[in-house]
Amino acid sequence: MANVNRQWVLAKRPHGNVSKANFEYREGRIPKPKDGQLLVRNLYLSFDPTQRGWMEDRPSYLPPVKIGEVMRASSVGEVVVSNHPDFAPGDKVMTGGGWQDYCVASPTGAPFGVNKLPAGVPLTMPLSVLGVTGLTAYWGMLDLGQPKAGDTVLVSGAAGATGSVAGQIARIKGCRVVGIAGGAEKCKWLKKDARFDAVIDYKSEDVDARIGKLCPKGVDVFFDNVGGDILEAALNHLAMRARVVLCGGISSYNATKPVPGPANLMNLVIMRARMEGFIVIDYMNRTHIAMPELLGWISSGDLVYQEDIQEGFKNIPATLTRLFTGKNIGKQLLKID
């Protein structure tokens, strides 16, 4: 292998929409692992809305990416050199390799560690339905949403990697599921393949009015990935003792000034409802519980998923922007050339 490590580093913090201008291409030397570490060649990268938050210089559940630092990202790769007894060259692993060809990883390193891929599992699956997005959907819906058979469940960002899985889990649990997504293609997939009971196209329909029509008895569980006006519309239609799960708020991630919150929060009081946010890293020690159930649903055909795989190292920054323009369908990934 050539002793060159291509990298994209954070060059400047975003103000408004994230773009290629926020990053700088560099070439460095391939690092050498120390005792207990691995040298991993990245094969696939994961793109997630939370990366936009990591670029900001503000307190969060993880420290911000520093200027000049390789952009943080989950990855699947192949072990090239192993100085750890539990791993061997050729092993396929999931770690936090970032936007570069090679990384040094430690099985106990924060925040991602290193996890060996189960035999026979497609390389991309641990970054999508079996990765952070699938686990987020699983624990957010089941632990916070607590769906019961017969409940009406509403999901925003429903065609996304997390929302689509969250809605299907609710369907599997016997709920009636309504999704909110943008565009005819995404809505068609949700109805036909993911088997949502109904779908609202926020690009062409009045979301508030459609929720009222499709959920005449109110919404028992709202799984929100969007925030903003969509959240406010959903809060207008809560059923008694509804559960609102705050998973994300992609509508405001690129905002340049504080976004007003919903004006109808008193509906939570009136309907004795609960609204709670969460971060999936709080559940990572329970992955062994979620993974077998997710795999079982996939094997039986009860759970389907989509992956949007871009290609080419030069396309890494542009691939991140797809998340905020609605271009991706399902989980956004990139295959490194």
Q: What is the pLDDT of residues 220-278, one digit of tens each?
A: 999 999 999 999 999 999 999 999 999 999 888 887 788 888 999 999 999 999 999 99
Closest CA to 179 of 162, 148, 154: 154
Closest CA to 133 of 280, 252, 277: 280
Q: Do residues 145 and 266 share a domain?
A: yes
Q: Do residues 277 and 315 share a domain?
A: no
Q: Do residues 136 and 260 share a domain?
A: yes
Q: Do residues 118 and 191 share a domain?
A: no
Q: Do residues 222 and 238 share a domain?
A: yes
User: What is the distance between the alpha carbons of residues 23 and 68, in angstroms, rounded to a whole number?
Assistant: 9
Q: What is the mean pLDDT of the chain?
A: 94
Tally of CB atoms within 10 A around 266: 10
Query: Quick check: is 120 in a domain?
Result: yes
H-type alpha helices, 15-98: 50-54
* Average pLDDT score over residue span 106-114: 81
Query: Quick check: is 182 in a domain?
Result: yes
Q: Do residues 261 and 151 share a domain?
A: yes
CB within 8 A of 1, min separation 6: which ones?
A: 30, 41, 80
CB within 8 A of 28, min separation 6: which ones?
A: 4, 5, 7
pLDDT for 285 beyond 90: no
Q: What is the pTM of this model?
A: 0.88
Query: Quick check: is 236 in a domain?
Result: yes
pLDDT for 98 beyond 80: yes
pLDDT for 118 beyond 90: no
* Long-range Cβ pairs for the range 234-237 (8 Å, 24+): 234/154, 234/156, 235/262, 235/264, 235/265, 235/267, 235/268, 236/208, 236/211, 236/212, 236/264, 236/267, 237/154, 237/208, 237/211, 237/212
Q: Give the pLDDT score at 61.
A: 86
Query: Quick check: is 208 in a domain?
Result: yes
Closest CA to 255 of 227, 232, 223: 227
Q: Which two tokens stand for residue 64?
A: 């911000």
CB within 8 A of 179, min separation 6: which ones?
A: 154, 155, 158, 159, 163, 164, 167, 187, 190, 194, 196, 198, 199, 200
Query: Quick check: is 75 in a domain?
Result: yes
With beta carbons less than 8 A apart as the criterion, state whether 75 and 6 touch.
Answer: no
Judging by DSSP bridges, how do beta strands 92-95 and 152-156 pair with one another? unpaired
Query: Would you call 272 exposed, middle or buried from its count of C-beta atoms within 10 A (0-12, 13-18, 19+)?
Result: exposed
- Domains of the chain: total: 2
CATH of residue 87's domain is 3.90.180.10
Q: What is the pLDDT of residues 181-230, one digit of tens each?
A: 999 999 999 999 999 999 999 999 999 999 999 999 999 999 999 999 99
Q: Do residues 97 and 145 share a domain?
A: no
Q: Do residues 268 and 183 share a domain?
A: yes
Q: Give the pLDDT score at 108.
A: 82
With beta carbons less than 8 A apart as the criterion, state whether 202 and 229 touch.
Answer: no
Assign 110 a pLDDT band (cuts: 50, 70, 90): low
Q: What is the DSSP string of 280-315?
A: GGGGGGGHHHHHHHHHHHHHHTS----EEEEE-GGG
Q: What is the pLDDT of residues 41-97, one digit of tens each?
A: 999 999 999 999 999 998 888 899 999 999 999 999 999 999 999 999 999 999 999
Q: Give the pLDDT score at 2.
A: 67
Q: Do residues 271 and 188 share a domain?
A: yes
* Average pLDDT score over residue span 5-18: 96
Query: Quick check: is 288 in a domain?
Result: no
Q: Do residues 66 and 144 share a domain?
A: no
Q: Do residues 118 and 144 share a domain?
A: no
Query: Quick check: is 292 in a domain?
Result: no
User: What is the distance between the alpha carbons of residues 202 and 175, in angstroms, rounded to a whole number?
Assistant: 22
H-type alpha helices, 44-160: 50-54, 132-139
Q: Do residues 44 and 121 share a domain?
A: yes
Tokens 């039986």: give the residue: 300
Look up the domain containing 227 and give its range. 132-281
Q: Which two tokens stand for residue 324?
A: 């905020």
Assign 1 a pLDDT band (cuts: 50, 70, 90): low
CATH of residue 234's domain is 3.40.50.720
User: What is the distance between the alpha carbons of residues 337 and 335, in angstroms, rounded to a whole number?
Assistant: 6
Query: Quick check: is 289 in a domain?
Result: no
Q: Which two tokens stand for residue 23?
A: 């990053």
* Residue 296 backbone dihedrals phi, psi, to 5 degrees: -65, -45
Assign 166 a pLDDT band (cuts: 50, 70, 90): very high
